[in-house]
Every structure is written in structure tokens, then in C-alpha cells.
Amino acid sequence: MTVLVSHEGADVDLADLAGVPHAMVLFPGAFTPTCTRELSALDALWQELGEQGVAVPVLAVACDAPPVLAAWREAEGVGVPLLSDFWPHGALSRELDAFDESTGRARRTSVVIGADGQVAWRDDAPPGAARDMARLAAVLRDL
């Protein structure tokens, strides 16, 4: 299983999520316009789900280094934790068939992993197009 690094520099072992439904929202790059709009929308969704008692972990992941993600999080004033898929470069993105070899970045992909460890839902947006976080929220509420 993959180990990612949080924006704070802590290791996050995805094996700890075995048996727990969760969402992974992959971003192509910190500080880019579409990703920044999506991060804000994801943060609002993350806060809303918490207020509604929906206890599904939501992982925001990008291939940027942890210090870049920490700066992005602070610049945007969001609370959602950010995870780095920087090294080995794009390991999680590749695992989820969401890595763009031509750009060296994750594609704009969201997945919900069920308690059985299988992808229960997937959303892929074309380059430059923002995902509809309300669709993700509806899926997470139905878990």
C-alpha cells in the first residue's frame, strides 16, 4: 500500500484506511487556477460533511512536494489536509490509473473507495475543467 506525506511532513499510511470507505481527490498542481477553485470547493464540502456527521475520510492529493502543499493550504486558508504523492513520484496516482505521463502530474480525478477496498465511484474531469464537488458529496452521504 502507498505511504503519502502530509502537508505537515508526517507519513500517512493508506493501509490504515483498510476497511474504511474514503474519498481521494487528486489535483494536478498546487496554485493552478482550476485546482485552487476546486480546493476551495473541496474544503467547503469537507467542512459541511463534518458538520453533518458524515465521517468519511476525504484525502486531497497532489504530486507536489509537502512544503508546496503547506504553502498552498495556508495561502488559500483551507482546513482540509493535503497529501503529497511526490515520491515515489505519482505512486498513488499511478495505482489509481490517474497519472498523466506527459505532464508528470495527476489527472483531475476523484475516487471513492468502499470498505471492500474497491473503487465504488470515480469522476474524471478533462484538463482545465473543474469537478462538481456536489456529486462527490452526494456519493459520500450515501455510503
Torsional sign, CA 68, 70, 71, 76: positive
| CATH assignment of the domain containing 119 | 3.40.30.10
Annotated catalytic, 63?
no
Structural domain of 125: 3-141
Provide the number of structural domains found in the chain: 1
- Tens of pLDDT, residues 4-46: 999 999 999 999 999 999 999 999 999 999 999 999 999 999 9
Please state the pTM of the whole predicted model.
Answer: 0.94
- Tens of pLDDT, residues 56-82: 899 999 999 999 999 999 999 999 999
Separation in Å, CA 40 to CA 25, 27, 30, 52, 59: 13, 12, 12, 18, 14
5, 24, 35, 140: the active-site residue: 35
